[in-house]
Chain A
């Protein structure tokens, strides 16, 4: 597969669901921290969906 969502990180439980692993963050700060860590672990890019949700995508 060409591109794949490896993880979803969010502060809003109502906005997410589905197949990819989901990480819940308490606040914006934790959201960013988790996004950095997970994107570095996978060597993937973190994308901000502008609604309190980050997706980690392998390109």
Chain B
């Protein structure tokens, strides 16, 4: 088994890269052991595919290479599985994730398996290139794998709301039954006791986009729902099933393009509220760049 070292090192590198990426997203996904087991095993499969490709090429066994690439395409299925799982759990969420957010998460999970394959592939390639160095190649290829994983994860890092907009706290005001933030009417809160809850515990913020691109991105309904979901999953909501007036609201001010968020968190902590909004990821599917078009530039 002259490729044993390469196979073991590269497969473990792919597996560990998947583990490293899994540790970074506990917030998007509740960390349940079964989910971990599924994704780690898929990472292991990805790692071994990446690891085996290099020896297969060196041996000139191109049909094996084609089969391995075919196997890699099976990871598409991961996206479907994630979509179905999250879609099925949607009914149990107090504040819905929304389909756009689910798509985003599913895509990330699929992509991470490909990253694991890339890491394993690069480790295997380095290990085979340096085969004359003896055991030093293990050290060097491990370093290359770690570097590769760090760089890829960094490249895959999406923006957060903080990167495209400024978030400020504003006061919740009432005009009769109408809850008003800034100039925008958010909702009609009919019951005086509910209005009192809003006045005592409610928090509101305005998210102002930094430019036309950010404005177009924030206008996406999926992005608005993702903000409502993520903020309430980070700082909690003060509501029970069926208390519709306390569902977190995200509304858009058509004249400025800014988003207005109104909610009653379980603990009234202004800084935590603002931080939660700033840390909401910008959904890949929501990103718009009108400034790259001729017409968009003319409007600006």
Contact = CB atoms under 8 A, between A and B. Distances in A.
A43 B94 CA distance: 13
Interface in A30-45: 32, 35-36, 39-40, 42-45
A59 interface: yes
A59 to B, nearest CB: 5
Interface residues of A, number: 16
B242 A35 contact: no
A13 interface: no
A52 to B, nearest CB: 12
Given A32-B191, A35-B191, A48 B243 contact: no
Given A48-B176, A50-B177, A35 B241 contact: no
Interface residues of B, number: 15
Contact of B190 (A42, A43, A46, A59): A46
Nearest to A9: B190
Interface of B: 176-177, 188-194, 241-245, 247
Interface of A: 32, 35-36, 39-40, 42-48, 50, 54, 58-59
For the complex of A and B, the 9 pairs showing the least CB-CB separation, nearest first, are A43-B242, A48-B177, A46-B190, A48-B190, A45-B244, A47-B188, A47-B190, A45-B245, A46-B191
20 contacts: A32-B191, A35-B190, A35-B191, A36-B191, A40-B242, A42-B242, A43-B241, A43-B242, A44-B242, A45-B190, A45-B245, A46-B190, A46-B245, A47-B177, A47-B190, A48-B191, A50-B176, A50-B177, A54-B190, A59-B244
